[in-house]
Chains A and B, each alone.
Chain A
Amino acid sequence: MANTADQIFVLLKHWIVSVFPIAIQPYLGVLLSVVAIIAVFPGLFALTTVIERKGLGRMQNRIGPNRTGPYGILQPIADGIKSLTKEDIVPTSADAVVHFMAPLVLVVAVFMGFAVLPMGRNMQLVDMDAGLLFFFAIGASTELSIFMAGWSSRNKYSLLGAMRAVAQMISYEVPLLMSSVVIVMITGSLSLVKIVDAQNQYTWGLPHWYIFTPWGCAAFVMFCVAGTAETNRSPFDLPEGESELVAGYFTEYSGFKFALFFLGEYLGMFSISGLGATLFLGGWSAPLQVLNFVPSWIWFFSKVMLSIVVLIWIRGTLPRLRQDQLMNFAWKFVLPMTLLNLLVAAIWRFMGDGILRWIVCSAILLGVYVVVGTVEMRRKKYGPRSYRYAE
């Protein structure tokens, strides 16, 4: 195994830390890891803004930004300079302290979520026993910052957007947690490092990723839906829809605070993608056993960027869901399916190895999905399209 290339960042960190005296070595190690995270993820954010604008542009049959640098690559630099030099407008009747704190709370909470993600072999910041619980606890704190932003702006549209966003995030938090509980149940540990280690085994050269099991696939689909709703991405972006609510809860923010909200939202996307890759796609493990010579951190970041590209793709393709449609979807469809998934995973565990458990579990999940889907669709009367014209 090409151990050096795999562990190059860990070895680099140990080498830098060994130069300094023993007393400050642990603190310096932590500081270096923190600086690495703070440097890498906003860099990826800059890359993602270019990919998103060019990608959405091509999907909508137009070219994205192409003036700044070749193929618009230097666009994030231009955006950064613009947001730094814009005037920071705070409305007079706005609550100044809360208005200031809201983007800070968001960015701090989202950065803390990166502490438990294993980005490579031995490359997590903290190996916590209850790592997954920490991640979800921090994710729940971001809702508070959105409410703070909406309320402190003293703006009807902001408040409306914030209430909608918080309601949506609370509704989809339950399916998000329940679809991850299945993984915890089968692995037997809340630690993300152990979850990745459990998926790092190979049978006939194929990996033991949880997405390749019936309950894992169903849980992955529900995790994707809930994760997209948690980060307020299309098709669940009614709270920040430009055509609906001006800009939702960050209407009254300008300049760098707006950039911080933008950063927080995209880092939330990275966070959820990273967690999805860790729980379902095997984290830093390679798809085929022969590919183990490629360093583990390349696999992790490839999976994260693939998830980001799929999220951008979905944004350019699907129409927006209405507020009551997405709440109905969460409580009446996704949540019961996650509970059923728990049952199916328990059946899987107790049936023992063999082809029978694959057939039984897949049959249960597909059967319920098809039955519930047809029953729900029959109640809606979809006829041929009719037009109403203004008289």
Chain B
Amino acid sequence: MNVVFWILAVITVLGGLMAVTLKNTVHCALALTVAFAGLALLFLQLDAQFAGFAQVLVYIGAVAILVVFAILLTRGSETPSEGVLSHTWFAGLLIAAAVFAVLAWAVLKSTAVLQHETAAPSVSVQQIGSALMGRYVLPLEIVALLLTAAMLGAVMVALHEKGEQK
């Protein structure tokens, strides 16, 4: 565990915390972008180049902008009159802690299985490409179908609004 990992972890966690506790929703979206950037840098620190850059391209380049647009075009851009924390914050905290405990147990158990892996595997983009086209071609096609359905759905929703206005 070197210094870089701790710095990036602090950045990611801070970004996530700020994203749920800030008052202004657009500030929350920007803090979420910082968390995404922290995650991308963590990927890069683990030598997963493709995953890191894809994270930046997809999450920061598209998802963050989508979130920001959604906040702007709805009424979320007004600052809330009450506080940010809801009434049931204690139950939410318990559930989040339980989920985190399960995930941490699963991750720590898995290191027992992978103990004989000494060197970090270096996965090149070409290997990812061959795997996507060879072994994982069915999930790829299913994801493509899902994306097409999502796009069609978005167009249908937008079209329906225009029809109603007339």
Contacts and interface: CB of A to CB of B under 8 A. Distances in A.
Interface residues of B, number: 22
Interface in A131-153: 133-134, 136-141, 143-144, 147-148, 151
Q: Is the interface of A mostly helix, strand, loop or mixed?
A: helix
Interface in A177-200: 188-190
Nearest to B71: A151
Contact of B125 (A129, A139, A173): A129
Given A130-B49, A144-B65, A98 B27 contact: yes
A140 B30 contact: no
Given A128-B49, A129-B49, A166 B65 contact: yes
Contacts of B56: 137-138, 140-141
B59 to A, nearest CB: 10
A170 interface: yes
A140 B62 contact: yes
B61 interface: yes
B39 interface: no
Contacts of A140: 56-57, 60-62
B68 interface: yes
Given A140-B62, A141-B61, A143-B61, A133 B68 contact: no
Contacts of B24: 95
B33 interface: yes
Given A98-B27, A190-B125, A133 B57 contact: yes
B35 interface: no
A129 B124 CA distance: 7
A147 B73 CA distance: 13
B46 interface: no
Contacts of A143: 61, 65
- Scoring A133, A139, A148 by chain B CB atoms within 10 A of each residue's CB, the highest score goes to A133
A130 B57 contact: no
Nearest to B128: A130
Contacts of B54: 133, 137
Nearest to A139: B61
A141 B60 contact: yes
B136 interface: no
A177 to B, nearest CB: 9
Nearest to B57: A137
Contacts of B26: 98, 151
B100 interface: no
Nearest to B49: A130
Contacts of B62: 140, 170
Contacts of A98: 26-27, 30
Contact of B64 (A95, A144, A173): A144
A136 B57 contact: yes
A75 B53 CA distance: 39
B50 interface: yes
A93 to B, nearest CB: 13
Contacts of B125: 129-130, 133, 189-190
A140 B125 CA distance: 20
A212 to B, nearest CB: 26
Interface in B49-96: 49-50, 53-54, 56-57, 60-62, 64-65, 68-69, 72
A160 to B, nearest CB: 11
Contacts of A151: 26, 68, 72
A139 B57 CA distance: 8
B9 to A, nearest CB: 21
Interface in B15-43: 24, 26-27, 30, 33
A275 B33 CA distance: 26
B42 to A, nearest CB: 15
Nearest to A191: B125
A8 B29 CA distance: 47
Contacts of B60: 137, 140-141, 144
A190 B54 CA distance: 13
Contacts of A148: 30
A386 B24 CA distance: 51
A231 to B, nearest CB: 16
B49 A137 contact: no
Contacts of A138: 56
Nearest to B24: A95
Nearest to B68: A147
A157 to B, nearest CB: 15
Contacts of B33: 144
Interface string B108-134: 000000000000000011100000000
A134 B41 CA distance: 12
Interface of A: 95, 98, 128-130, 133-134, 136-141, 143-144, 147-148, 151, 159, 163, 166, 170, 173, 188-190
Given A134-B49, A134-B53, A163-B69, 6 more contacts: A98-B26, A98-B30, A137-B60, A151-B68, A189-B125, A190-B125
13 contacts: A128-B49, A130-B53, A133-B54, A137-B56, A140-B60, A140-B62, A143-B61, A144-B68, A151-B72, A163-B69, A163-B72, A170-B62, A188-B126
- Name the 3 nearest CB pairs between A and B, nearest first: A140-B61, A137-B56, A137-B57
